[in-house]
Structure 1
């Protein structure tokens, strides 16, 4: 597993701990087609590997992830934005959403515990990803944003489904409805992360130390604890994911979304009209 070549990740395994590192290829480890294809393959392989008892998930460089790579994913998103997009385009887009949801769900449903170490920006899809982890540590420079509302989207691959079990309803609504950025101290205060460390190296070291503690315990019991904890909320998560996939396939195409994407590429503030 650790010797296999990946495009969007580096994977290493030692002492019963796997480390999965986002490496791009987009700027800021943005999530393009390779990310969405490789993520479920990696976590399925790690879950099946008896030598792996805990997983550390982190990002390379200064940032965890800038989130969805809009430019790289244009081929998946573009057709549904065309004027008069009808059933086929919307059905294909629905399939794209559920495939992307499945990639994040592969992390959440992995029987092997996942400890995330976050530094720098963790935006949009990055928050979707860390919401699927069991434990989250941050460096002091980490910044978080459920930013989809600011680009004309409803977050649809995990944040709105999983964050209700992590942070309070009021804090979730504040993040999702404003798209505001919060720092690591704020994230710890609302329970989004378990703890904050001085820098990226310290956050990864803490994640690996916790992973080692987990790996030292009986693996079947650890797997059982995860399954029991996840059981009571899995139905709510799955229902939320199905609902938002259908909602976005029907209503996401809009002039506001097109304007938001254009504004990103033109590096200017968007002007939303509600159309």
Structure 2
């Protein structure tokens, strides 16, 4: 993405806000779905915002946070499902499956834009960070949490193989054993457990303290020689970038082929009807 030009001439976004000051940019998720859920605007705007920050020479570090009580509830199913109806049909043929593959890769690229920006990204998480929210913070360089933060790689509970980067990026952050536990169970973990397994660097008393700590760390980073900091990030990324890219391509192909299922339909219906799903493995 380095050297690319952002395609957002107005500089205005619906799903997030961007503020700058003292060589630090702050990106705040706004929704508009409940709990900053990730709908069509988010997936379109996130890479534009980070491309803009990547090419801004005045920005040396980025703080990423959520508005309100929660970081993000993850994918906004209600907003995204109507456009996916043709893809998820059990009798979908090659063309809709290929189009769904392209859609998955486009969404993956949105999250990857965060990982590939040359400026260090610090995620400040409070409240719930679910599914796509975990994908997003996994793409950040450093994660801080408030004591009330809760994390969940929850896709398995809605009959989806997580495909936006958690399964690829978290192994080098928390280790294979912890990642497999979270991915297979879909369980929720609190901030204390997240710190214990290395998902977050530090835990702070509340949202304001977490955000202040992230801003302070970003200022410390911004005070260092910017090209050297960016070089350190580039060198560190070489260790995992190719493996992550290969894993993202594989899971995109897997889900384009196998995501349509009885269990996925059951998960969606249970979600809409606010009941527990009954999975059949079909």
Q: How high is the TM-score relative to the length of structure 1? A: 0.98
Using the alignment, how far apart are the partners of 2:130 and 2:240 within structure 1?
Answer: 24
- Counterpart of 2:5 in structure 1 is none
* Aligned-residue CA RMSD (Å): 1.0
After superposition, residues 177-192 of structure 1 pair within 5 angstroms as: 177-192=184-199
- Counterpart of 2:99 in structure 1 is 92
Q: CA deviation at 1:168?
A: 1.3
What residue ranges of structure 1 are gaps of 5+ in the alignment?
Answer: none
Using the alignment, how far apart are the partners of 2:236 and 2:52 within structure 1?
Answer: 22
What residue ranges of structure 2 are gaps of 5+ in the alignment?
Answer: 1-7
- Counterpart of 2:3 in structure 1 is none
CA shift digits 1:53-103 (9 cap, x unpaired): 000000000000000000111134221222411111101110110000000
- Counterpart of 1:236 in structure 2 is 243
Matched, 1:144 2:151: yes
After superposition, residues 8-47 of structure 1 pair within 5 angstroms as: 8-47=15-54
- Counterpart of 1:213 in structure 2 is 220
- Counterpart of 1:175 in structure 2 is 182
Using the alignment, how far apart are the partners of 1:192 and 1:79 within structure 2?
Answer: 36
Indicate conservation of the 8 Å contact 1:81/1:253, yes or no: yes
Give the secondary structure class of the aligned counterpart of 1:31.
coil
Using the alignment, how far apart are the partners of 2:107 and 2:90 within structure 1?
Answer: 24
CA shift digits 1:198-225 (9 cap, x unpaired): 0000000000000000000001001100
Indicate conservation of the 8 Å contact 2:121/2:140, yes or no: yes
Using the alignment, how far apart are the partners of 2:50 and 2:215 within structure 1?
Answer: 17
Q: CA deviation at 1:233?
A: 0.8
Matched, 1:117 2:103: no
Matched, 1:131 2:132: no
Give the secondary structure class of the aligned counterpart of 1:71.
helix
- Counterpart of 2:169 in structure 1 is 162
Using the alignment, how far apart are the partners of 1:251 and 1:175 within structure 2?
Answer: 21
Say which is worse superposed, 81-90 or 163-172, in terms of deviation: 81-90
